[in-house]
Each structure stands twice: as C-alpha cells, then as structure tokens.
Amino acid sequence: MGQILGQDIIATPSHSAGIITLPASLLLLGGRQYRTSTLTRTISTDVTMVANTLYFVYAQLVTGVPVLRISASVPSTYKISNPTASLVTAFYANGLASVSFGSFVNISGVPRSLEIQQEPLTLRGSGSNPTKPAHSVDYAQWERDGADMIYKYGFQAAAASSGGAGVSLWDIPTNFIIDFSRINNVGTANFTSDQIGTGRWGNATIAYDGFMYCATTTQLAMGAWQTGSASQINWNTGPTIVVSTSAFYGGFNVILPITGWNKTPLKDL
C-alpha cells in the first residue's frame, strides 16, 4: 500500500527588496512530500521584470533539495520541463519607470491582487497636450479582480495648466489589451451604453461629475452628466467644460475587462 500524503500547506509568502520569501511549508514535489525550511529567491536572478507582467513562483527540486524559482511561464508550460515544480505563489510587477515588485496575487480561487502602482499620467488632449502644472496629488494604480482591472487615478493641481486642446485623455496602463467584446463602443460618449466607470473633474469654481468611456483602444475620456451624454471634459476647446483655466483636481475609477484574464485559479493554468 502506497504512502498517504497530506495536503500541501503553503505558508504566506512575503517580499522585501527584490527577494521573495516562503516560510516553512509542506509541499508535494516530484511525488514526494517535503517539509521545507524557509526558502528565498532574488527575483532578478531568474527574470528581468517587465511592467505590469504576471510572474509565477515555483518550489522545485534541484539536486534533490527544495528551492524557489521564478518564471513568467504558466504552470502547464513550466512543469513540462520542470516536473518536480509546484506553484506556491504569483505576483505582478508594477508600472513604475524602474520596474519592481507590485503585488502578490492569489493562486487558489478567483485571482485578485492589491493595488499596483503606476507612473503618474501624462495629461493629454485630443488636439494637443497641456503642460502639467505644479501639483500636490498625482497617482495612478490598478488592481486585478478576476477577469477585470480596477483602474484608479487622482490629481490635485496647485496652479493652472498651460496649453492643451481637445478632449481630455488618460492612458491605460501599459502591456494590457482591453477585451472589447465586453465593451459596447470605442470613441463614443453615451453614459447609458458606453460607461465603464465614474469620475470627477473641476476647479474651485465648478466641478463636473462624469462617466468614463474608451476614447481609443489605449485611452480613456470623461463625459459630463450635467450637459448631456455627448458633452466631454475638455482642456481649452470644445463645449464649456474646460479644466485648465485655474488650479483643478479630478480623478476616476473604472473597470476594464482584460484580454487573457479570467476567473480560473492561477494554479490551474
């Protein structure tokens, strides 16, 4: 009669200064169960991180000893050449200029992460870009919730912007493709059919509560509730809804369906 193996017990991983640490765990590796000591791995030893990319952390046997290894390959691919490997955690890189660790994402159940920081956004207009003024708040971040990205942006200017014309635009984080089969239209501004989130943009005189929509395949725009579904937040041209005439503030919260994402647990990929 064969040995009865217990269920794997994967301890809670942690990250610090580019190093992944897995505390002592009970892991099935190559058909045998191991009680491991604390395992660590420097991320840069195995991969050069690319912005907003998902990485998998595996425990596997090397010369009969459990170790950690990091790869961008999903389990079904990685285990072909590494048959003793077991997925123990996964994480996303962030979108900062100097790319680093972003957030762990769970491998069992619907994949979810914490907030992942991005570079402050360039303020854009469909006609010309404004000059970003002095500011006290300027942040962008996203998090994963199954098949969707929750994307947030916030800005607080300390002075008026200069220049800028046309519809105000905000870039979608790099290395993502929106699943437009789950979004009605691109380039239209109808809050009853095209809304993917909400926002607010204004200055000390007046503020506009708005709805977010996809202006292009890589950029978001904001429409304003007050003057109808076709009215858009602009810089210095278009309707009367302009934002660069004085110190302004704003932000948004949108939900974007991402191509290639689903609710399948990462350990089953």
Domain residue limits, the chain: 14-105, 116-257
What's the rounded Cα separation, in Å, for the pair 225 and 227? 6
Residue 1 has pLDDT above 50, yes or no: no
Which contacts qualify for 8-16: CB closer than 8 Å, 24 or more apart?
A: 8/33, 8/86, 10/88, 10/89, 13/57, 13/88, 13/89, 13/104, 15/91, 15/101, 15/104
How is the chain split among helix, strand and coil, in percent rounded to 5?
5, 45, 50
pLDDT single digits (tens) 120-144: 999 999 889 988 889 999 999 999 9
Residue 226 has pLDDT above 90, yes or no: no
pLDDT single digits (tens) 74-122: 999 999 999 999 999 999 999 999 999 999 999 999 999 999 999 999 9
Output the pTM of the full model: 0.90
What's the rounded Cα separation, in Å, for the pair 159 and 37? 55
pLDDT single digits (tens) 32-52: 999 999 999 999 999 999 999
For residue 205, the model assigns a pLDDT of 78
- φ, ψ of residue 29 in degrees (nearest 5): -130, 115
Q: How confident is the model at residue 217 (pLDDT cuts 50, 70, 90)?
A: confident
Q: What letter does residue 173 receive in the DSSP assignment?
A: P
State the residue for tokens 């010309």: 128
What's the rounded Cα separation, in Å, for the pair 133 and 246? 10
What's the rounded Cα separation, in Å, for the pair 73 and 269? 10
For residue 246, the model assigns a pLDDT of 79
For residue 98, the model assigns a pLDDT of 96
Q: How confident is the model at residue 194 (pLDDT cuts 50, 70, 90)?
A: low
Rounded to a whole number, what is the distance in angstroms from the first to the last CA of the chain? Answer: 32
Q: How far is CA 188 from CA 185, 232, 248, 256, in A?
A: 6, 10, 25, 16
CATH number belonging to domain 116-257: 2.60.90
